[in-house]
Amino acid sequence: MESLQLLRVSPFEQRFKLTMAINNKSSQELFVRRLNYKVMLSDLEITSGEELIWKAVPAFSTQEIEIFFSTNIWEQLGPVFAIVRESGQLNYYLTGELNTGSLLYQQVSDIHYTSTLTQDQLPMKKLNKLQKLMPNLGF
């Protein structure tokens, strides 16, 4: 289970939370070290980075990790939210590499995840209010 949540919207900062579940299907404990990631809304890259995790996921269990990030993509949001108004939803993409293992034995797993944000998951009232205050943004 991966999810992207828009926590705060202002003209100068947009805060997001990315939640990822790491599922260990092995009979051995899984050491999660690092995540290199890129998140896109439609065709717009909203963040990329590296998160040091250092968690142990017990055998046959699942643990969630949360990554918080801020961005300032306000000027590029016009076309993105035009898609939301037309279709009622917005696709987002997570790609990256998850590094697991001990210091001596390391493994890299590719991550590719696609999902959708609906209007119910986006602060449309606040976006409409900000649009009225700043009509030159073109959405």
Assigned domain for 41 exists: yes
Q: Which of 95, 115, 13, 98 is nearest to 51 (CA)?
A: 98
Global pTM reads 0.79
| 115 in any annotated domain | yes
Q: How many domains does the chain have?
A: 1
Name the amino acid, one letter, at 131: Q
In 10 A of CB 125, how many CB atoms? 8
Supply the CATH number for residue 84's domain: 2.60.40.10
* Domain extent at residue 39: 2-123
pLDDT tens-digit series, residues 66-87: 999 998 887 777 777 778 778 8
Q: What are the pLDDT digits (tens) for 21-68?
A: 999 999 999 999 999 999 998 888 989 999 999 999 999 999 999 999
52, burial (CB in 10 Å: exposed 0-12, middle 13-18, buried 19+): exposed
Query: Is 88 among the domain residues?
Result: yes
